[in-house]
């Protein structure tokens, strides 16, 4: 059922050697490949549009859902709408990811629109990895959209990673936080060659004592381009922070625009942004421990994107 290329992509984007345990939904070339549900986690096809609805029963703990997407069909542009309803006081991990294998000259792309409704007191960790490979010259596009609605006292941690090979990415992340909820977003993007990646983020701190931290780490190699926009709007007594760092390796370009908007006198918002080359003192330190220049660069980048 899974061929060697599929397995390779699944390993890269979802750390899966084979079909996972527990609940999963694997989509290949725009169609369902395999699905499994558990007593607490239900997955069903959406009625209105192409995609799935994942419903996690209240109180579900220590369970994980894998929902990888793999593409290997020339010329396909797959659009999918997925919805996640996370029951009250549950604590689960959701592992998504999209791998493209491009073998020919035709373009291939995936647009995943993910909506999360995180009920009161629920906690989720969402891990999403994007990767494109293959020898073909076709343009590989990945345009993910993530919308998160956090109810009171819920917690969401999101790790969004674009590892490599994606020619064009337009990412949109939006979140609305109710009282006492918290959101941590860590985005890591590496681009090379003539690749282009744009990330637009909007976080609304709607409820009292909601808190959010948005961390972005960009590595820009070759002549690639990355633009990062992040806005935090505070509508209540809340805490928000944006931290965006970019390392430019060759002749890449980067634009970083963090924005803060306080609509409440007790809002506490901050941001820090930096763009630059790899720091000379870091290279010197590693070289003084016997590493070559190239080895030192690798270690610094790996750490930065960790």
Partner 1 sequence: MLELKDLVFSVNIKDEKNNDQKIDIIKGINFKFEKGKFYAITGPNGSGKTTLAKLIMGINRQTGGNIFFEDKDITELSITERAKLGISYSFQHPARFKGITFRDLLAISSQTDDEEKLLSIVRRMGICPLSFLDKPVDATLSGGEIKKIELATTIARNPKLAIYDEPDTGIDLWTIMPMVTLLKKEQKDKDTTTIVVSHNKSFFEVADTILILNGGNIVYKGNLEKALPILADFRICNFRPCKKGEKDARCYR
Of 135 and 288, the one with the shorter C-beta distance to partner 1 is 288
Is residue 125 within 8 A of residue 93, CB to CB? The reply is yes
Among the candidate windows 57-65, 164-172, 200-208, 295-303, which touches partner 1 by CB under 8 A?
295-303
Q: How far is the CB of 297 from partner 1 (least distance, A)?
A: 12
141, 281, 297, 298: residue in contact with partner 1 (rule CB under 8 A)? 281
Asked if 304 touches partner 1 (CB under 8 A), the answer is: yes
User: Residues 190, 217: contact at Cβ < 8 Å?
Assistant: no
214 token code pair: 């948005």
Helix pair 280-287, 293-304: axis angle to 10 deg: 120
Which helix (H) or strand (E) segment holds residue 60: the answer is none
- Interface with partner 1, residue 81, by CB under 8 A: no
Q: What does the alpha-carbon distance between residue 57 and residue 260 come to, in Å, rounded to a whole number?
A: 36
CB of 64 to partner 1, least distance (A): 25
Query: How far is residue 247's CA from residue 304's CA, in Å, rounded to a whole number?
Result: 9
Cβ–Cβ < 8 Å for 225, 197? yes
We find the least distance from the C-beta atom of residue 272 to partner 1, in angstroms, to be 10
Tokens representing residue 261 in the block: 């908007």
Interface positions, 4-43, toward partner 1 (CB under 8 A): none
Among 19, 74, 172, 291, binds partner 1 (CB under 8 A): 291
Considering only the stretches 44-52, 174-182, 224-232, 283-291, report the one whose residues sit in contact with partner 1 under the rule CB under 8 A: 283-291
- SS3 of 12, please? helix
Query: Among residue numbers 174 through 233, which ones bind partner 1 (CB under 8 A)?
Result: 217
Q: Considering the rule CB under 8 A, would residue 303 count as an interface residue with partner 1?
A: yes
Q: How far is the CB of 150 from partner 1 (least distance, A)?
A: 27
Q: How many CB atoms lie within 10 A of CB 37?
A: 16
Q: Judged by CB, which is closer to partner 1: 11, or 285?
A: 285
Closest to 68 measured CA to CA, from 91, 47, 94, 88: 94
- Parallel, antiparallel, or unpaired: how do β-strands 31-36 and 23-28 relate? antiparallel
Longest pairwise C-alpha distance within the chain: 61
The residue from 145, 245, 253, 297 that contacts partner 1 (CB under 8 A) is 245
Nearer to partner 1 by Cβ, of 262 and 305: the residue is 305
The contact set with partner 1 (CB under 8 A) reads 217, 245, 279, 281-282, 284-293, 299-300, 302-306
């Amino acid at each position: 059922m899974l061929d060697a290329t599929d397995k390779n992509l699944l390993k890269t984007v979802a750390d899966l050697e084979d079909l996972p345990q527990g609940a999963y939904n694997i989509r290949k070339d725009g169609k369902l490949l395999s699905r499994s549900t558990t007593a607490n986690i239900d997955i069903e096809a959406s009625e209105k549009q192409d995609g799935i609805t994942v419903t996690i029963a209240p109180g579900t703990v220590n369970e994980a859902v894998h929902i990888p997407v793999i593409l290997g069909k020339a010329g396909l542009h797959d659009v999918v709408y997925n919805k996640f309803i996370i029951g009250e006081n549950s604590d689960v991990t959701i592992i998504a990811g999209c791998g493209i294998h491009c073998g020919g000259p035709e373009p291939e792309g995936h647009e995943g629109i993910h909506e999360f409704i995180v009920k009161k007191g629920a906690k989720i960790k969402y891990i999403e990895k994007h990767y494109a490979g293959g020898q073909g010259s076709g343009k590989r596009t990945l345009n993910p959209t993530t919308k998160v609605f956090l109810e009171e006292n819920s917690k969401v941690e999101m790790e969004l990673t674009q590892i490599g090979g994606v020619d064009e990415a337009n990412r949109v992340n939006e979140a609305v936080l109710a009282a006492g909820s918290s959101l941590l977003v860590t985005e890591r993007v590496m681009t090379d060659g003539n690749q282009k990646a744009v990330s637009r983020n909007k976080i609304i701190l709607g409820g009292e004592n909601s808190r959010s931290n948005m961390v972005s780490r960009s590595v820009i190699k070759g002549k690639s381009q990355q633009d990062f926009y992040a806005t935090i709007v505070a509508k209540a007594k809340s805490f928000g922070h944006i931290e965006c760092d970019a390392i430019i390796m060759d002749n890449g370009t980067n634009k970083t625009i963090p924005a803060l908007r306080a609509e409440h006198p007790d809002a506490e918002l901050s941001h820090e942004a930096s763009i630059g080359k790899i720091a000379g003192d870091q290279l010197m330190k590693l070289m003084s421990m016997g590493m070559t220049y190239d080895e030192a660069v690798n270690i610094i980048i790996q750490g930065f994107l960790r």
